[in-house]
Amino acid sequence: MAFTLPPLPYDYTTLEPHIDARTMEIHHTKHHQTYVTNLNAAISKFPELNGLGLVGLNKAAGTEKIPKDIATAIRNHGGGHYNHSLFWKVMTGPTDSNGPSADLKAAIDSAFGSFEAFKEKFNAAATTRFGSGWAWLVVQEDGKLAVTSTANQDNPLQMAIVDTPGIPILGLDVWEHAYYLKYQASRPGYISAWWNVAPKREATDPVVT
């Protein structure tokens, strides 16, 4: 079964003024669609991989489960499809962004000392990621939370590739295409504004199929 571009759970204008509608439209219909299209092209050569699903493909990236002919495509385009599918879900309109649930806040307080301390660490991961990539909040295998970042379209599910594997529950896209139309070269300005539309805890689902 071919992968498809998931619809946004809100209008392109919903995140304004913090993320503009034109950026959202291009990001969703052009960039994300390209990852879906290229992932489907790669999988079509090895239909036996269809049963893995999106999460399974990402977990298998960098391992012998993925044929060498499409290893790079799965890593890049499978990662891009998963990352964006989660990214859309963790955001919401500014008036609906009420922060994490009580359980998640308690876990954040335990891991980082406070939500503000967590934000500072997350912002640092996003700001200092060299070039294109992502910042993440993940649940590690031992159940503890951690902040990490990855290059390009890598993600913490790709355990054979990344330094800090885990299940992503919050991800921030810091590729320039995510913010350049509005914020130009100010990645910190974009990161600061992003907290006005994230996280929407009710929609944060670590399992994207």
Binding residues, by number, are 27, 84, 173, 177
Give the C-alpha separation, 151 to 172, whole Å: 12
Backbone angles phi, psi at 109, to 5 degrees: -60, -40
Q: Where are the alpha helices (DSSP H) in 113-156?
A: 115-128
Give the H or E element holding residue 139. strand 133-139
End-to-end CA distance of the chain: 12
Q: Whats the size of the chain, residue-wise? A: 209
Contact at 8 Å (CB) between 163 and 113? no
Q: Which residues are annotated as a binding site for Mn(2+)?
A: 27, 84, 173, 177
Q: How far, in Å, CA of 94 to CA of 135, rounded?
A: 21
C-alpha atoms less than 13 angstroms from C-alpha of 184 in its C-beta half-sphere? 0
Cα atoms in the Cβ-side hemisphere of radius 13 Å centred on 134 = 26
